[in-house]
A and B are shown apart, each in its own frame.
Chain A
Amino acid sequence: MRLVLFDRQTESRINFYPVALCRPIWELRCGMTSLGEKLIAKIGATDVVGFLPEYIADVYRERSDWTINDAASLGAEDLLLVNARVKAESFEVAPTGPSQVAFDDNGECLFARIAKEDLGKLVTDSIDGLIESAREAFPRYEGEIATWNYTWDLILSNPEQLTKDFAAAGRSGNVGHVEEPLAIRGSRDDVYIGKDARVHPMVVIDAEHGPVYIDDGAEIHPFTRIEGPCYIGKKSILLGAKCREGNSIGPMCRVGGEVEESIIQGYSNKYHDGFLGHAYVGEWVNLGALTTNSDLKNDYSDVSVMLDGKHAIDTGSRKVGSLIGDHTKTSIGTLFNTGSYVGAMTLIAGTGKPLPKFIPSFAWFLEGVVTKGFGKRKLFETAKIAMGRRDHEWTPAQEAMWEEIFKITAEPRMDAIKKGRRAMRAQRS
Chain B
Amino acid sequence: MATVQDRVIEVTARVLQLDAADITPDNNFTSDLGAESVQSIELVAMFEEEFGIEMDEDGALAVTTVGSAAEFIAGVCKEQGVEV
Interface residues of A (CB under 8 A from B): 349, 364, 366-367, 371-375, 377, 414, 417, 420-422, 424-425, 428-429
Contact = CB atoms under 8 A, between A and B. Distances in A.
Given A428-B14, A428-B15, A373 B46 contact: no
B74 to A, nearest CB: 20
Contacts of A422: 49
Contact of A421 (B46, B56, B58, B61): B46
Contact of A428 (B41, B44, B46, B54): B46
A372 B57 contact: yes
A420 B45 contact: yes
A376 to B, nearest CB: 8
Contact of B42 (A367, A375, A377): A367
Given A373-B41, A425-B49, 9 more contacts: A367-B38, A372-B45, A372-B57, A373-B57, A377-B58, A420-B45, A421-B48, A424-B42, A424-B49
A295 B38 CA distance: 31
A371 B48 CA distance: 11
Contacts of A371: 41-42, 44-45
Contacts of B49: 421-422, 424-425
Task: Rank and list the top 5 A-B pairs by shortest CB-CB distance, nearest first.
Answer: A375-B57, A421-B49, A372-B57, A421-B45, A371-B41
Contacts of A375: 56-58, 61
Contacts of A364: 41
Contacts of A429: 14
B14 A372 contact: no
Given A366-B41, A372-B41, A373-B41, A425 B46 contact: yes
Interface string B50-65: 0000101110010000
5 contacts: A366-B41, A367-B38, A375-B57, A422-B49, A428-B15
Contacts of A424: 42, 45-46, 49
Interface residues of B, number: 16
Nearest to B38: A366
A421 B15 CA distance: 12
Contacts of A366: 38, 41
A215 B42 CA distance: 46
Nearest to A372: B57
Contacts of A373: 41, 57
Given A366-B38, A377-B58, A428-B14, A372 B44 contact: yes
Contacts of A377: 58
Q: Which of A377, A420, A421, A422 has the most CB of B within 10 A?
A: A421
Interface string B10-33: 000011000000000000000000
A429 to B, nearest CB: 8
A371 B39 CA distance: 11
B48 to A, nearest CB: 6
Nearest to A422: B49
A422 B48 CA distance: 10
Contacts of A414: 54
A215 to B, nearest CB: 41
B38 to A, nearest CB: 6
A377 B57 CA distance: 9
Nearest to B48: A421
Contacts of B41: 364, 366, 371-374
A58 B46 CA distance: 39
A73 B42 CA distance: 52
A349 B37 CA distance: 13
Given A422-B49, A425-B49, A374 B42 contact: no
Contacts of B14: 428-429
A421 B53 CA distance: 12
Contact of B61 (A374, A417, A420, A425): A374
Contacts of B56: 375
A367 B38 CA distance: 8
Nearest to A364: B41
A420 B49 CA distance: 10
B51 to A, nearest CB: 11
Nearest to A429: B14
A371 to B, nearest CB: 5
A117 to B, nearest CB: 56
Contacts of B48: 421
A375 B45 CA distance: 12
A374 B41 CA distance: 7
Contacts of B38: 349, 366-367
Q: Which of A349, A372, A421 has the most CB of B within 10 A?
A: A372
